[in-house]
Amino acid sequence: MPISHLVERFGTPTYVYDESKILDCVGDLRRFDVIRYAQKACSNIAILDLMRRHGVLVDAVSAGEIHRALTAGYTAGSQPPAIVYTADIFDHDAIRLVVEYGLHVNVGSPDMIDQLGEVAPGTNITLRINPGFGHGHSQKTNTGGEHSKHGIWHTQLEECLRRADHHGLGVTGLHMHIGSGCDLEHLAQVCAAMENAAMTAGRGVVSISAGGGLPIPYRPGETRVGLDGYFQLWDATRQRLENAFGHAVTLEIEPGRYLVAESGYLLAEIRAVKQTGDNLFYLLDAGFNNLARPILYGAYHPMSVAPRDGDARRRLQDVVVGGPLCESGDIFTQEEGGYVVRRQLPAATVGDWLVIECAGAYGFVMSSNYNAKPLAAEVLVRQGAANLIRARQTYADLMRGECIPE
């Protein structure tokens, strides 16, 4: 679909998602018994509705995400549970909703067992285990080990089983989100830790979850994860547990990024082209208020220039790409630690468009109103037609709820 059409209809900055890409990615993971979408990656209700209609279940990490799942048509009470609440705490709204809808909980800290046990004794839970080691694409995203706040520390499993038993809670699932990606050696350690934990928890366990963390190729030259090896390791773990327990064990996977990252594009307009010493800057009307991954993690996103005049033969040049915010770190081409780097892109002038790719996961959902910038619009392309799935925020939206005291 020509960018000029999208921009004419929806303006910039705008997130555009390609439905067919999402469905291809869902298709890749069908061999798992349950694909549970980690909606934190992109929680627009149109995306959730799409997942639901294609048999993908959902994870919710907050009361807000529970509301989103319910609004998108997920219903509680089915088996395996359509909605699972996965978090390290219950806030008051979340525990109220969990009880009201009878949602399955993936418990991330011992206190949650007591809190749930007090209000919903007799229900079944999953325990999220921190096996004592982790993995992540940056220091800030490492999900295991003693510096991670996530999950129940592996040596406390037995104590947690006793606590659950005390409250009459049945431990029917175990979960580890370590994000080993395609590092199969590391993954083998995770699977071994899962097997160990499951043997400790015993025959009540009917489901294991591999968590999320499947990587996608962001940089040129990065290859796609080998799903065969990934699945085989988990499947073998599941089979050993089935043999030990004498009953079926469901294997879940909980990806966010893998399902939506590559479907998403952030469309922006180049509003200034300026030179400072050796650096040539393209300054966009989108900033880290729209896409925070570069400033947070030094994340790399592919970019392309869409010239307004359609000229595809412009010469390449090294540029720094930044946003509009009054903050020096508002740079899309940076590495972890905040080091500004250059990217080779076609020559461009004010009014050309710049497209930031692989932005469907942790893009819109991590955006903010910093510098009083309205949140971007979101558009879903379905069978060649562009559908607005979230209107751009208005300036009235921006100040909604604020008031000046008498």
Which amino acid, 253?
A: I
362 binds ligand LLP (CB under 6 A): yes
| Residue whose entry in the numeric block shows the structure tokens 């400072």 | 276
207's enclosing H/E stretch is strand 207-209
- Asked if 289 and 29 count as a contact pair (C-beta separation under 8 A), the reply is no
255 binds ligand LLP (CB under 6 A): yes
Applying CB under 6 A, the span of 93-101, 165-173, 184-192, 209-217 interacting with ligand LLP comes to 209-217
Whole-angstrom CA distances from 276 to 73, 245, 319, 320 are: 52, 67, 11, 10
Binding-site string for ligand LLP from residue 325 to residue 344, where x marks contact by CB under 6 A and - marks none: --------------------
Token duo for residue 206: 């009917």
Applying CB under 6 A, the span of 182-190, 211-219, 220-228, 237-245 interacting with ligand LLP comes to 211-219
Beta bridge partners of 387: 380
Which amino acid, 356?
A: I
134 binds ligand LLP (CB under 6 A): no
264 binds ligand LLP (CB under 6 A): no
177 binds ligand LLP (CB under 6 A): yes
Across 295-310, b (16+ Cβ under 10 Å) vs e yields bbbbbbbbbebbbbee
Judged by beta carbon, residue 10 or residue 85, the one nearer ligand LLP is 85
38 binds ligand LLP (CB under 6 A): yes
Question: Which are the catalytic amino acids?
Answer: 326
301 binds ligand LLP (CB under 6 A): no
Q: For residue 395, how many C-alpha atoms fall within 13 Å in the half-sphere facing its CB?
A: 1
258, 282, 288, 332: which one contacts ligand LLP (CB under 6 A)? Answer: 258
Q: How far is the CB of 212 from ligand LLP (least distance, A)?
A: 3
254 binds ligand LLP (CB under 6 A): yes
52, 68, 293, 373: which one contacts ligand LLP (CB under 6 A)? Answer: 293
The CA distance from 51 to 72, in Å, is 9
Token duo for residue 164: 């659950």
Q: How far is the CB of 234 from ligand LLP (least distance, A)?
A: 14
173's enclosing H/E stretch is strand 170-175
- Residues near ligand LLP (CB under 6 A): 38, 41, 86, 141, 177, 179, 211-214, 254-258, 293, 361-362
